[in-house]
Amino acid sequence: MATALFLTACGSKPPETGYNDQPQPYQVTALTPVPAVINIDYPATVRGKQNIEIRPKVDGYVQQILADEGATVKKGQLLFRIQAPQYEQEVLTAMAAVKSAEAGVNTAAMQVKKVQPLVKKEIVSNYELESAQLALQAKEAELAQAKASLQNARVNVGYTTIYSPADGIIGTLPYKIGSLVSSNSPEPLTTLSDISTVHVYFSFNEKQLLDLTGQDTGKSLDEKIHSLPPVQLILANGNAYPEKGRIETTGGLINTETGAISMRAAFSNAAGLIRSGSSAVIRITQPVNDALVVPAKATFELQGKKFVYTVDTAGVTRSREIAVKEFTAGDSFIITGGVKRGEKIVTEGVGSLKEGMKIKPVLQPVTTASR
C-alpha cells in the first residue's frame, strides 16, 4: 500500500518549467534628448612667453656664473662674467692711439696758426695755408678713427659681463667655470624663459577646425577663434591646471602632409607652476543640446560598425546599426543615426543577447552625459 501511494504521488506531480524558458529581466532605457558635454583632448607642448638664448658675443673663458639653474632673475641682473684679456689690451692700445692722434691734431693746428700770419703778410703763398689746413683735417680724422676704435674696444670689454635681458627663469647651464665659449658655440650659455604667461601649442585637423568654428556664420575665422569658450590644461600628472586659458591664434597654413593646423592657447602662470618645455593636454569642452545618448556598454561592434539592441512592445530584441559622433561624452556615445527618439535599447548584459530573443524590460531613467 505504501509503495502504491508513493507511485501515485510521483505520477501526479506536474512537470517543472525550465528557468531558461522564462523571459529574463534586462535594463533598458528610452532614448530621450538630454544635454551632453563632449571633452576633446589634444596633445600639446608648453612654451614660455619668451625663450631667450643667452650667448656670448666675445671669445673667452667663463669666469663667473652668478645665477643657478632654475633661479628666478630680474631684467638687468648680472648673470655671467667672461674672462677675455685680449679685449682689455685692445682698450689700452686704443687709448694710446687716441693720445697719439690728439698730439697729431695739436701739431697740425699749430702749423695752421703759424702759416696764417705769413700768408697775410704775403711772405708765403696761400698754398702753404691750404696744405696746413688739409693736414689738420687729416689728423682730426685720425683722431676720430682712434676714438671709434676705443669705443669699440670698450664695447667688447662690456660684452664680457652678461646681464639678463628680461625677467624669467634660468634654464640649464651647459658650460661650467673655465669653459671656453664664443659666439659660435653650439649651445647657449643658458636659456632664459619668461613663464609669467605660457603659450600652449596643439593641432587640429581641418575637419575638427571647421566643426568647432562652423557654428557662427558670417564671422571671420579670427572672430570665431576668439569667441570659443575657455580651454582647460591637463598637466602631465593628469591633474587639471586650476586656471583656464583661451585660444589666441591659429596658424596660417594647413600642413599638407598631416592635414593639421597649429593652434596656440595662452594661460596665466603667475605662480610658476608650469615650466617651458613640459608636455600637457589641451581639453576643449563642447556642449551638445538635445543629444541622444547611449552608454558605451550598451553597444557592440561587428566588422567595424557599432550596434545596439532595441526592444519592441512585445519585449523582443532586434540589433540595429547606429552612427555616433567621433568623440565620446564620457562613457557614452552621442547617436547621430540608426535609432530614433523614444525607442528602447538594452543597456545591460548585451553580450548575452541574441537577435529575436524575448526579454523582460526593466526601464531605467536617462541622465545627462558628460566627460
Closest CA to 140 of 106, 115, 110: 106
Closest CA to 250 of 267, 262, 260: 262
Q: Could you tell me if 165 and 200 lie in one domain?
A: no
Cα atoms found within 13 Å of the Cα of residue 125, Cβ hemisphere only: 2
In this structure, what C-alpha cell is assigned to residue 216?
Answer: 557662427
Q: Could you tell me if 350 and 272 lie in one domain?
A: no
Helix residue ranges per DSSP H, 204-263: 206-213, 221-226
CB 112 within 8 A of CB 132: yes
Q: Could you tell me if 293 and 280 lie in one domain?
A: no
Please check whether residue 327 lies inside any domain of the structure.
yes
Where does a domain end: 255, 287, 319? Answer: 287
Q: Could you tell me if 223 and 248 lie in one domain?
A: yes
Q: Could you tell me if 240 and 338 lie in one domain?
A: no
- CATH code (residue 360): 2.40.420.20
Angle between helices 85-120 and 126-158 (to 10 degrees): 160
| CA 104, chain centre distance (Å) | 62
Q: What residues pair up with 52 in beta bridges, in sequence order?
A: 192
CB 263 within 8 A of CB 204: yes
Rounded Cα distance, 369 and 29, in Å: 14
Q: Could you tell me if 182 and 298 lie in one domain?
A: no
Per-residue confidence in pLDDT tens, the chain, 371 aa: 444 444 444 444 444 444 456 889 999 999 998 888 888 888 999 988 888 999 999 899 999 999 999 898 999 999 999 998 888 899 999 999 999 999 999 999 998 888 888 888 878 888 888 888 899 999 999 999 999 999 999 998 999 999 999 888 898 999 999 999 998 999 999 999 888 889 999 988 777 777 666 655 556 767 777 777 889 999 988 889 999 999 888 776 776 677 788 889 999 988 888 888 888 999 988 888 888 888 889 999 998 899 999 999 899 999 999 998 877 777 888 898 999 999 999 999 888 999 999 999 998 876 555 54
| CA 60, chain centre distance (Å) | 36
Closest CA to 334 of 297, 298, 369, 300: 369
Please check whether residue 259 lies inside any domain of the structure.
yes
Angle at 248 between CA 245 and CA 250, to 5 degrees: 130
Burial of 167 (0-12, 13-18, 19+ CB in 10 A): middle
Q: Could you tell me if 282 and 198 lie in one domain?
A: yes
Q: Could you tell me if 228 and 283 lie in one domain?
A: yes
Closest CA to 240 of 67, 41, 71: 41
Please check whether residue 370 lies inside any domain of the structure.
no
Q: Could you tell me if 79 and 90 lie in one domain?
A: no
Q: Could you tell me if 62 and 164 lie in one domain?
A: yes
Closest CA to 311 of 301, 322, 320: 320
Closest CA to 236 of 196, 284, 274, 271: 274
Angle at 198 between CA 197 and CA 200, to 5 degrees: 150
Rounded Cα distance, 33 and 291, in Å: 5
- CATH code (residue 205): 2.40.30.170
**Domain of 171?**
56-84+160-187
Please check whether residue 3 lies inside any domain of the structure.
no
Q: Could you tell me if 237 and 311 lie in one domain?
A: no
Q: Could you tell me if 282 and 203 lie in one domain?
A: yes
Q: Provide the domain count of the chain.
A: 4
